[in-house]
Amino acid sequence: NAGVTQTPKFQVLKTGQSMTLQCAQDMNHNSMYWYRQDPGMGLRLIYYSASEGTTDKGEVPNGYNVSRLNKREFSLRLESAAPSQTSVYFCASSVQKETQYFGPGTRLLVL
């Protein structure tokens, strides 16, 4: 089992460009999450998907959209990147309220 995988690992964007971060899990988990990690702020929830076909906003959803493509995949889209979105992005999955399993992260720099 690969667990939670994320692509790409690194990305540099110019302000205004768009991109999609991909996440997939092979653990048959119902719930999936997107977080961003910034120095001194811990991880903050952007969006989550409690189950296939549902998505909901987290703490910092502005500037992002998500798609729960199927049970395995949960993508995060930046429609018009801004320097404030420079961060490390983590995808996670879980069986409802149990332990969350995290991917290796995507490091995004917006110039």
Instruction: Name residues contacting another protein, limited to 4-33 (CB under 8 A).
Output: 4, 31, 33
Count CB atoms within 10 A of the CB of residue 81. Answer: 21
Q: Per rule CB under 8 A, is residue 58 in the interface with another protein?
A: yes
Which conformational region is residue 93 in: left (phi greater than 0), alpha (psi within -120 to 50 degrees), or beta? Answer: beta
Q: Per rule CB under 8 A, is residue 71 in the interface with another protein?
A: no
Q: Per rule CB under 8 A, is residue 104 in the interface with another protein?
A: yes
Q: Which is nearer to another protein, 14 or 96 (CB)?
A: 96
Minimum separation from the CB atom of position 17 to another protein (A): 25
Give the number of residues in contact with another protein, rule: CB under 8 A: 26
